[in-house]
């Protein structure tokens, strides 16, 4: 599965396997820890201590008094991140399960103010978000395997947005695919208009041929040539009939299919556009929530650092209570960020799946459209060849009569019908 399809849970499990935090055995310590306190090692190799009852965390070794640290919290550079993700009264279980969840959270959450975890910093730096969609960073990108290698499939090449040619912001890759489909529909419509114009030409041609076949011109031609001329005029009427049939077939077998193919196509494309647009809007909303939660966490971390500094300078029950309250709010902010990130990843995965499914469907529709048009244009050429054959057949009787024209016989026939006498004049005598 490509990295951008990983769910948050998969990322957590991946990072938890590589996390360097681990519990230290009690026997490695100089003296036993108080009850309910455990020692762990941070990714930077520093020991910190967790109270498994209330999830309190400190860099200082706890004193022998149960539930309290030995001294005040003096290390504040890394501690807020640890405390910020510890749960107090949250959905995490106490004890070991609680801390294991903490480790997973810390290994995957974005870098927060005061935290020094390189894992989170590198994770954020290895990704870039463009128009609310998260991609691998160009500096960290590794070549992704195509979903359909060597096919130039729609589902592999239209993930990014592009600048709108009209200058109105950006248009998504899916919108580019939709524009291709709508353009194809328009081309199909224009082809049908072309065939309609061709039909008009055929109808007008047939009408003129029929009219010309009835002309009285040269109607008095006689003999075999007269017969050939009469047949030639009659062939015009036959040819006109051929062209009328050609026109009719063009209308029923070419023009009409081109016009009626996927009559609801634009409505279907509009429905798909709305569906994907809604998912993209949801994704934008989720990303906004993530950024808002990230800012809230940063604010809580700063507040926690401030409270820690105040507790260092002034040891009092109120300062400790303020610190604990700030820690709880930081924890809640961290949990909210985790929730928002999880929802964002779920929404992006849903959007990703729908884009793949829909783009493959558009690819199939385009193949069908091209094949449909090809078949009907082939039908046009077939009808045209048939028309030529029928026209040729109308010429055959004319050719035969023209070959049979005999001027001698024509002269004989004409002389027989029109002779005025066979007796020739003679000379007059004196």
In tens, the pLDDT along 175-207 reads 999 999 999 999 999 999 999 999 999 999 999
pLDDT of residue 153: 95
Specify whether 241 is located in the same domain as 318.
yes
- For residue 96, being part of any structural domain is answered with yes
Specify whether 184 is located in the same domain as 65.
no
Specify whether 42 is located in the same domain as 114.
yes
pLDDT of residue 98: 35
295-303: average pLDDT = 93
- For residue 244, being part of any structural domain is answered with yes
Q: Which of 120, 144, 172 is the last residue of a domain?
A: 120
Specify whether 108 is located in the same domain as 171.
no
Q: How confident is the model at residue 335 (pLDDT cuts 50, 70, 90)?
A: very high
- Reduced to 3 states (helix: H, G, I; strand: E, B; else coil), residue 261 is coil
Predicted confidence (pLDDT) at residue 30 exceeds the cutoff of 60: no
Q: Which residues pair with 130 in a beta bridge?
A: 133
Specify whether 17 is located in the same domain as 90.
yes
Residue 243 · residue 205 · CB < 8 Å: yes
Q: How confident is the model at residue 64 (pLDDT cuts 50, 70, 90)?
A: low
In tens, the pLDDT along 349-391 reads 999 999 999 999 999 999 999 999 999 999 999 999 999 999 8
Specify whether 379 is located in the same domain as 230.
yes
Please provide the DSSP assignment of 46-110 as one string: -EEEEETTT--EESSPB-SSTTSBSS-----SSHHHHHHH--SSSSSPSTHHHHHHHHHHHHHSP
Specify whether 111 is located in the same domain as 177.
no
pTM of the prediction?
0.64
Domain count, the chain: 2
55-80: average pLDDT = 50
Q: Which of 21, 87, 9 is nearest to 54 (CA)?
A: 87
Which residues form the domain of 51? 1-120
Q: Which of 120, 145, 179 is the last residue of a domain?
A: 120
In tens, the pLDDT along 85-116 reads 333 333 333 333 333 333 333 333 333 333 43
Compute φ and ψ for 385, nearest 5 degrees: -65, -40
CATH number at residue 354: 1.20.1270.60
């Amino acid at each position: 599965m490509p990295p951008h399809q990983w769910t948050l849970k998969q990322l957590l499990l991946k990072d938890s396997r590589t996390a360097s935090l681990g519990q230290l055995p009690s026997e490695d310590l100089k003296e036993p820890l108080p009850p309910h306190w455990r020692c762990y090692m941070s990714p930077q190799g520093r020991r910190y201590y967790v109270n498994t009852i209330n999830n309190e965390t400190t860099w200082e070794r706890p004193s022998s008094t149960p539930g309290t640290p030995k001294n005040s919290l003096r290390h504040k550079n890394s501690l807020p991140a640890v405390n910020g993700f510890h749960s107090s009264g949250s959905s995490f279980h106490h004890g070991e399960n609680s801390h294991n969840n903490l480790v997973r959270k810390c290994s995957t959450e974005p870098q927060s103010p005061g935290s020094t975890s390189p894992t989170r910093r590198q994770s954020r730096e290895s990704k870039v978000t463009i128009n609310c969609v998260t991609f691998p960073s160009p500096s960290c990108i590794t070549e992704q395997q195509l979903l359909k290698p060597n096919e130039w499939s729609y589902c592999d090449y239209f993930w990014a947005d592009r600048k709108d040619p009209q200058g109105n912001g950006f248009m998504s890759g899916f919108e580019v695919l939709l524009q291709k489909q709508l353009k194809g529909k328009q081309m199909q419509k224009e082809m049908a208009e072309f065939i309609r114009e061709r039909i008009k030409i055929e109808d007008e041609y047939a009408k003129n041929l029929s009219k010309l076949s009835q002309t009285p011109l040269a109607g008095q031609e006689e003999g075999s040539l007269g017969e050939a001329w009469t047949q030639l005029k009659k062939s015009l009427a036959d040819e006109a009939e051929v062209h009328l049939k050609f026109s009719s077939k063009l209308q029923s077998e070419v023009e009409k299919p081109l016009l009626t193919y996927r009559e609801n196509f634009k409505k279907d494309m509009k429905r798909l556009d709305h569906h994907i647009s809604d998912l993209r809007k949801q994704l934008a909303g989720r990303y906004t929530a993530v950024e808002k939660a990230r800012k809230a966490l940063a604010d809580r971390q700063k507040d926690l650092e401030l409270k820690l500094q105040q507790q260092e300078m002034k040891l009092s029950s109120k300062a400790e209570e303020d610190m604990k309250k700030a820690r709880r709010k930081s924890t809640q902010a961290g949990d909210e960020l985790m929730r928002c990130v999880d929802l964002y990843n779920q929404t992006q995965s849903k959007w990703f799946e729908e884009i793949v499914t829909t783009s493959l469907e558009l690819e199939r529709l385009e193949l069908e459209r091209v094949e449909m048009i090809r078949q009907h244009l082939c039908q046009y050429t077939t009808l045209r060849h048939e028309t030529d054959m029928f026209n040729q057949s109308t010429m055959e009787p004319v050719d035969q009569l023209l070959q049979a024209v005999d001027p001698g016989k024509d002269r004989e026939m004409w002389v027989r019908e029109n002779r005025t006498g066979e007796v020739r004049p003679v000379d007059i005598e004196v």
